[in-house]
Amino acid sequence: MTNLLTSSPRLDAVTAVATGGRLWRRLLRHGGGRVGVALAFILALAALIGPWLTTDPDVPDYTNKLQPPSGGHLLGTDLAGRDLLARTFAGARMSLGAALLVMAIVTIVGLVVGVVAGSAGGVIDTVLTRVMDVLLGIPGLVLTLAIVGVLGPSFFNLVFAMAVTGWAGLAKVARAHTRGAGQRPDVIAARMAGAGPIRIAFGHVLPGVVSLLVVAATLRLGDTVVALAGLSFLGLGAQPPTAEWGRMLSDARETLSVAPFQIIGPGVALMLTVLASTLIADALRDLDEPENRR
Amino acid sequence: MSRRPLTIENLSVTYRNGFRAITELSLTIDHEERLAVVGASGSGKTTLVRAIMGLLPRTAVVTGRILVDNTDLTTISRRERRLLNGRTIGYVSQDPFSAFDPLRRVRHHIHEAWSAHGAAAPPDGINAGLARMGIPDPARRSRQWPHQWSGGMLQRATTLAATVHDPVLTLADEPTSALDTELADDALDLLRRTCSALLLVTHDLALAGRHTDRIAVFHDGKIVEHAGSECVLEHPRHEITRALIRAARPLPRPARTDRTSAEVILRAENITKSYSTRHGVVTAVHPTSLEIRAGEVIGVVGPSGSGKSTLLRLLAGMERPDSGEIVVDGRPMWGAASRTNLPRKGFAMPVFQDPVGSLDPRWPLWRSLTEPLVLAGVRLSKQQRREHASEALASLDMSEIDADRLPGTLSVGQCQRVAVLRGLIAGPALIAADEPTASLDVEVATAVSNLLRAAADAGAVVLVVSHDEARVRAYADHILTVREGIVAASEAKQ
Amino acid sequence: MIRLVVRSLAQAVVTLLGGAVITFVMLSASPGDPAERILTARGQESITWLQIEALRSELGLDRPLPVQLLNYLGGLATGDLGASWSTGRPVVDELATRLPATLRLTVASLALAVGFSLILGLVAAAGAGRFPDHVSRTLSMFFLVVPSFLLGIVILDVVVVGFGVGVVISDGSWSTVLFPALTLALASAASWSRVLRASLLGARSAPFLTVSRARGTTNVRRLLVHELPNALPPFVTIIGLEIAFLLGGAPIVESIYSWPGVGRFTVQAVGTRDMPVIVGFVMISITLFVIASLAVDLFNAVIDPRLRRR
C-alpha cells in the first residue's frame, strides 16, 4: 500500500526502465520519444547559440515599442522596445541552464542521502527517512515560495530554493533501490561467490541507482522549468530587466490586448519544453511495458 | 443431423504480424467426450481456445469453420457470440487465484454467470451449487473476498460459475498449472463430473492421460497425433509426442555402485530457524540434524510453506540458524562475525527460481559468467574472460549466443542455463538450487536437471528444492521431505 | 483497518511536526527584526529602543532558541500564528478572512479536475486506439503542456475582457469561481486523465477480465463493474499527491484573477518579506495536504479489501 505522504509514484514508473544500457537507442526508436528528443535538441540549440545570433536582449529602444512581428523583429518587440526573439533565446539559456543546475544538485544530493540511508540502516536511516517524508509532505511550490521569502526575491535565490526542496523524492528512490539490493538474487550470488561489499556496491548497486536517478531527474526537467517560470511570473524570481520566460509573460500582461503577440515567444518556448519532457517520459513508460521485457 | 458440441473444419488463424498460429485444423468433440490438447508453448493451443471463445484480436485473420452445437461461430455477429459465451460455451481459466476480481466478493463472481446476460440467479442457486462443489457453509463463505479463500476452493467456485448453465461445450485452459498435484486431480475430477463435452488444454501429459478420453498433440499449429489417451501415451507414433513423453517422465537414473566412499562435506546439528510475522512467531525449521556427502543430489520436497527453502538457505550458508551448529570441513560455518566462515570463496553457489533476476541486467553475459572465477582468484584479462564465457556457452549447445549480450535479450530457458553455468564455473563444493526448473519448459527443465546431476557426479553436492517431486526423484540420491518445518529423510526410488 | 488508520495518523502528525520545525527555522533565519517591523506596521511614527525591547520580550524573542521553538509549537497548537510584519495584525485573522475564498477555489478546481479527468479517461479507455481515444489524448496533451499562468492570462484577456464573459476582478465568491477554477483544474485534469486511462487499460489485461468476457458480459459492464473499480486506487493516489500542485498553483491563479485568497496574500507577503504570513500559509498547505492524503488512504482501503487485513 502506498502511504500517500511518503510515496512518489511518478518516479516509481521509471524503476524498471533504467536497467540495461540500450536505453537511448530504444528511446529513439519510439515514435513519440523521437519527437521529444528532437524538440529537446532544438531547445538546447536555441539556448546555446540563439543568443549569439540575435541582438542584445536587455537594451531598451523606446522608439520601437510594441512592434508586431516583422522582418527586423521576428517575434516583435515589448514595451521597452526590446527584441522578443532575442529575449526568448536569452530566456532559454536562463531557464534551461537553471533547470539543469537544479536537477544536477538535486540528483547528487538525492543520490548521496538515499544511498547512505539505504546502506547504513538503523538510526541514520530512520532519521533521514523522516526528513524525506516531511519534505515530501509539504507541497513543493509552497516551500519554495517560503524559502524565497526568507532569502528575498531573486533568480539565484529561486534556484537555490528549488534545489533545497526537490531532492526528497529522488532520495527515496535511491534508498529503496539500495535497500532492496541485499535481497536481489544476482547480489546474493555475487556475495556467495566471494564479492565484498565494495565490489557489490560499485559493480551491482550504484550503476543502477545512478541511471535511475538521472532518468528520473531528466523527466522532471519540464516541471522544473515551468516552476521557475511560474514563480518568476509572480515577480519572485528573475527581476527586471532580466529576460526570463515567466517574467516576460508577466510584463506582457498590461499591454496584452493591444499587443498579444508578446506571448508567442515565451509561451511557445514553455510549451515546447513541457511537450519534449512529456513525450520523453511517455516513451520511457511505454518502453517499460511487459511486452518489451520478457 | 446430431448437434455435436464442437466441430472444427479447416481452421486457420493468422495474427496481424503474419504469424500463423493454426493451420488447417480439424477436430470434433462429441457429447460426454473429453479431449485433451497438449503441446509445447507456442504450438497453438491457446489460440484455439481464444478462437472458440471469440477472444482473438480483431486484426487476426480466421478462415475455416467452428461449429458449436451447430452454430457457426465464424459467421455470427459479435452480439450473438456474446450470448453464447457463458451459456452454451463454458470457460475455466488457468489460474484460480487471478480469475477473480479482487475487489468483488466470491458471490459476485458466481452471480456474474447470470447477470452477464441480464438475468438473476435462482433463489439459493448459488448456495446449493457451492454445496454440491463441496464448499462448507456456502451462505457465509460466498460473501467473503477471494483472497480469503484457498486455491482449491477458488477452483471449485470458478468451475461452478463456468457450468451453471450446463454448457454444451466446456473449455479448460491449463486449469491446474498453478495447483499442487493433489489439488490438480481434484479439480479435474470435478470438471469430469460437471461437464458434458470438455476440451482440456494442458502441458501435463500424465494428467491428460488420467482424466481424458482422447489426446490431440499440437505442434506448430497442426495436430500431429490424435488418438485415445492410453493409446497415445503407451504407443506414441509421432516424434513430437515421444519427445513430450520423454521430457515428462524422466528416465530413472542408473544405480550408483561407488557411494560408500563419499566424504561428509557438511554436518548440521539441531539447527532451527524462526521468523516473527504479524501473526506471531513462526517456526520454519524445527531442530534438524543431517549429514551431507559429496557427489550426491539431495532433493528437498514438501508442500508450499513447509520450510524447505529456509532449510536450503541454512545449509548453504545464506542465513544463520537461530540455534544449533553447522560444521563444514571440520570448522563451524558461523563464527562471531556476521559473515560465513566457509573454506573458500564460492564454496557454495546458488541457483534461483527466477532466472531473469539472478543475472545483473546491466552486465553482459561474459561478465556474469566469469565473475566467480575472478573472485576465486583466477587472473583473467577481459579478452580471456570473453573467451572463457564463449566456451562455457558452447559446452551447453548455446554457441549461437554472443557472450556480449545482456540477459534481457535471452529467453527464460537460456537465462537459467546461463545462471546454472555461472553457479558451476568456479567448481563449488555445494550447489543450492531453489526451484531451478519451476519456470521452465519441459525440455529445458530436463537439460537443467541433467546439468545438476552432472555436477554431482563430478564431486559436488547438489541440494534441490522442488515442488515437482516426480522430476526430482528421477535424478536425486536422497530425498528430504519437509512438512511444517519437520524434516524426514529417505532414499530416492531407483 | 484500525492499524492502517493509526499508522496514517501517526505519519500525519510527524509531517505536521516536521513542517512546523522547518517553518520555525525559516522564521528565525529571516533577516530583519520582527519587533521593529511589527511596530512600524502598526503605524508608530518614531520607535524607541525601549519599545522594541518591550515587544521583543512580549513576543518571547529574547529567550533561547529551543524555548522559542516550544513556544512556537504551542502557539501553533492553539492557533496563534504571530503577527504580520506588514500589517501588524494577527496572522490568524488575516488568513482566516481570506481562507474561505481559497477553499472555494480549491474545492471547485478539485471538482472540475476530477470530473474532467473521469470523462476524458473513461472515453479514452472505452474507445482505446480509435477516434475518441485520439481526441481525448490530444486534449489531455494540450492542457498538460500549457502552463497555468499562460492559460490564465489568455483566458482573462480573450474570454473575460474580449468577450465580456465573467468579471475581471473576482470577489472570491462562488459566482465568479468558474474561470479561476478552470484555469487551475485543466492541467491537473489532463494529467489525471492520462493516469486513469493507463490504469484502466492495465486493468483490462487482467486475467479475471478474460474470465468475465467468457461469461458473456458486455464491454460496458466490464468497464464499469470491473475495470473502473480496479483502476481507481492508482487514480485516486495520484489525485491525492497532486493536490499538492493544486495548493501550490493557487497563489499563481489567485494573482492572475485577483482572487482574494490566502495564496495571493502570501505572494504579496513574499514581496514584503512578511515571514509570519508566509509561514502561516505553509502550515495551512501542509494541513490541507495531510488531510487530503488521509482521505485518499482511507478511500483506497475502503475500495480494496485486500488492504484492510494489514
Structure confidence at residue A228 (pLDDT)? 92
In a domain, A91, yes or no: yes
In a domain, A175, yes or no: yes
Structure confidence at residue C66 (pLDDT)? 84
Query: Could A234 and C275 be called an inter-chain contact, meaning their C-beta atoms sit closer than 8 Å?
Result: no
Structure confidence at residue A67 (pLDDT)? 81
Q: How far apart are CA A52 and CA A89, in angstroms?
A: 9
Residues in chain C, pLDDT under 50: 310
Q: How far apart are CA C152 and CA A217, in angstroms?
A: 28
Structure confidence at residue B492 (pLDDT)? 64
B205, three cell numbers: 501429459
Of all residues in chain B, the one with the smallest CA distance to C215 is B86
Question: Is the pTM higher than 0.80?
Answer: no
**B161: number of Cβ within 10 Å:** 28
**Candidate from B345, B350, B412 with C-beta closest to A189:** B350
Q: How far apart are CA A226 and CA A207, in angstroms?
A: 30
Chain C window 46-105: which residues touch A at a Cβ cutoff of 8 Å? none
Catalogue the long-range contacts made by C75-78 (C-beta closer than 8 Å, 24 or more residues apart): C76/C20, C76/C283
Peptide bond into A241 cis (omega under 30): yes
Sequence-separated (6 or more) residues with CB below 8 Å from residue A67? A73, A76, A77, A81
pLDDT in tens, A109-148: 999 999 999 888 889 998 999 899 888 888 888 899 899 9
Domain of residue A141: give its range: 30-54+83-292
- Residue B2 is given by DSSP the state -
In a domain, A196, yes or no: yes
B427 conformational bin, left if phi > 0, alpha if psi -120 to 50, beta if neither: left
Of all residues in chain A, the one with the smallest CA distance to B353 is A185
Coil, strand or helix at A63:
helix
Q: How far apart are CA C174 and CA A162, in angstroms?
A: 34
Q: B375, B422, B440: best mutation site toward chain A, by most A Cβ within 10 Å?
A: B375
Query: Could A186 and B357 be called an inter-chain contact, meaning their C-beta atoms sit closer than 8 Å?
Result: yes
pLDDT in tens, B100-130: 998 899 999 999 999 888 888 888 888 888 8
Structure confidence at residue A256 (pLDDT)? 83
Domain count, chain A: 1
Coil, strand or helix at B352:
coil
Using DSSP bridges, classify how beta strands B197-201 and B71-72 pair: parallel, antiparallel or unpaired. Answer: unpaired
Query: Could A186 and B360 be called an inter-chain contact, meaning their C-beta atoms sit closer than 8 Å?
Result: yes
Structure confidence at residue B42 (pLDDT)? 72
Structure confidence at residue A5 (pLDDT)? 41
Rounded CA Rg of chain B:
26
Q: How far apart are CA A46 and CA C245, in angstroms?
A: 29
Query: Could B85 and C212 be called an inter-chain contact, meaning their C-beta atoms sit closer than 8 Å?
Result: no
Structure confidence at residue A217 (pLDDT)? 84
DSSP codes joined into one string, chain C: -HHHHHHHHHHHHHHHHHHHHHHHHHHHHSSS-HHHHHHHHTT-SS--HHHHHHHHHHHTTTS-HHHHHHHHHHHHHHT---B-TTT-SBHHHHHHHHHHHHHHHHHHHHHHHHHHHHHHHHHHHHTTTSHHHHHHHHHHHHHHHS-HHHHHHHIIIIIIIIH--S-SS--SSGGG-HHHHHHHHHHHHHHHHHHHHHHHHHHHTSHHHHHHHHTT--HHHIIIIIIHHHHHHHHHHHHHHHHHHHHHHHHHHHHHHT--SHHHHHHHHHHTT-HHHHHHHHHHHHHHHHHHHHHHHHHHHHH-GGGGG-
Structure confidence at residue C183 (pLDDT)? 92
Structure confidence at residue C181 (pLDDT)? 92
Catalogue the long-range contacts made by C31-37 (C-beta closer than 8 Å, 24 or more residues apart): C31/C273, C32/C85, C32/C273, C34/C59, C34/C61, C34/C85, C34/C275, C34/C276, C35/C59, C35/C61, C37/C85, C37/C86
In a domain, A64, yes or no: no
* Lowest mean pLDDT, pick from A19-23, B139-143, B163-167, B205-209: A19-23
pLDDT at A56 over 50: yes
Structure confidence at residue A99 (pLDDT)? 93
pLDDT at B462 over 90: yes
Q: What confidence category does residue A291 fall into, taking pLDDT thresholds of 50, 70 and 90?
A: very low
pLDDT at A3 over 50: no
C22, three cell numbers: 522547518
For A20-49, what is the mean pLDDT?
82
Chain B window 50-89: which residues touch C at a Cβ cutoff of 8 Å? 53, 55, 82-87, 89
Sequence-separated (6 or more) residues with CB below 8 Å from residue A277? A36, A40, A219, A220, A221, A222, A223, A225
Q: How far apart are CA C306 and CA C295, in angstroms?
A: 18
Sequence-separated (6 or more) residues with CB below 8 Å from residue B330? none
- Per the CB < 8 A criterion, the answer to whether C261 and C102 are in contact is yes
**Candidate from C148, C251, C297 with C-beta closest to A3:** C297
In a domain, A98, yes or no: yes
Q: How far apart are CA B473 and CA B131, in angstroms?
A: 38
In a domain, A41, yes or no: yes
**Candidate from C214, C305, C309 with C-beta closest to B85:** C214
Rounded CA Rg of chain A:
22
Structure confidence at residue A7 (pLDDT)? 43
pLDDT at A8 over 70: no
The domain spanning residue A247 has which CATH number? 1.10.3720.10
pLDDT at A2 over 80: no
Set of chain B residues whose Cβ sits within 8 Å of the Cβ of C212: 101, 112, 116
Sequence-separated (6 or more) residues with CB below 8 Å from residue B203? B38, B39, B40, B41, B174, B177, B442
Q: What confidence category does residue A224 fall into, taking pLDDT thresholds of 50, 70 and 90?
A: very high
**Candidate from C207, C221, C230 with C-beta closest to B99:** C207
Coil, strand or helix at B84:
helix
Q: What confidence category does residue B362 fall into, taking pLDDT thresholds of 50, 70 and 90?
A: confident
In a domain, A186, yes or no: yes
As a whole-number percent, the residues of chain B with pLDDT over 70 amount to: 94
Set of chain B residues whose Cβ sits within 8 Å of the Cβ of A22: 406
Does the model's ipTM exceed the 0.90 cut?
A: no
Structure confidence at residue A29 (pLDDT)? 81
Query: Could A189 and B358 be called an inter-chain contact, meaning their C-beta atoms sit closer than 8 Å?
Result: yes
Can you tell me which residue has the cell 505536521?
C16
Q: What confidence category does residue B402 fall into, taking pLDDT thresholds of 50, 70 and 90?
A: confident
Planar angle of CA B59, B60, B64, nearest 5 degrees: 135
Set of chain A residues whose Cβ sits within 8 Å of the Cβ of C134: none
Structure confidence at residue B260 (pLDDT)? 54
Q: What confidence category does residue B199 fall into, taking pLDDT thresholds of 50, 70 and 90?
A: very high
Sequence-separated (6 or more) residues with CB below 8 Å from residue B80? B71
In a domain, A71, yes or no: no
Q: What confidence category does residue B418 fall into, taking pLDDT thresholds of 50, 70 and 90?
A: very high
Query: Could A188 and B426 be called an inter-chain contact, meaning their C-beta atoms sit closer than 8 Å?
Result: no
Mean pLDDT of chain B: 85
